[in-house]
Amino acid sequence: MMRKRVDEFDPDVLDAAAREREVQLTTVGRKTGKPHRVTIWIVTDGRRLYIRSGEGLRRQWPQNLLARGEGVLKFRKTSVKVRPRLVADPVEARAVSALYRRKYGPFVRASKPNQPLTPGEQTTFELVPLVA
């Protein structure tokens, strides 16, 4: 029997990320300590989950996610605790942009290799399952 790594999502979660256009992300406010929920877009490459803030760090949720280091992702039928990994590699950030454009359309802003990253690309997160 093949065992999945603890840092891999269940296939049902990956399927939900591929299927659902919007999910809920709950973070805890870095100043208030109160839960804060936003509706966001999500993509998967079949193994990993990615989210991004189209407005970069001007939004509160990416700042909260970075400060607290965890959040809860809610799909229609399930919720999973996650920790973020900020995507720092421009090549990976642009690859995630391609996933977003495939799923959501050409209006998703993406940079070219000779251009600076867009605000969304600068705040692209891989989500990793948070294990107790």
0.85 surpassed by pTM = yes
Tell me if 117 is assigned to some domain: yes
* Residue 26 domain-assigned (yes or no): yes
Confidence at residue 7, expressed as pLDDT on a 0 to 100 scale: 75
**Mean pLDDT of all residues in the chain?**
92
Q: What percent of the chain has pLDDT over 90?
A: 85
- How many structural domains is the chain composed of? 1
Inside any domain, residue 109? yes
What is the model's pLDDT at position 6? 58
Does residue 1 sit within a domain? no
| Residues of the domain holding 96 | 11-129
* pLDDT tier, 131 (very low <50, low <70, confident <90, very high otherwise): confident
Q: Which of 121, 125, 119 is nearest to 86 (CA)?
A: 125
| pLDDT for the residue 132 | 62
Average pLDDT over residues 19-36: 96
Residue 6 within a domain:
no
Tens of pLDDT, residue by residue over 55-98, are 888 899 999 999 999 999 999 989 999 999 999 999 999 999 99
pLDDT of residue 59: 92
Q: What is the pLDDT of residues 101-127, one digit of tens each?
A: 999 998 899 999 999 999 999 999 999
DSSP assignment of the chain, as one string?
-PPPPTTS--HHHHHHHHH-S-EEEEEE-TTT--EEEEEE--EE-SS-EEEE-TTGGGSHHHHHHHHHS-EEEE-SS-EEEEEEEE---HHHHHHHHHHHHHHH-TTS----TTSPPPHHHHTEEEEEE---
CB contact at 8 A, 129 and 8 = yes
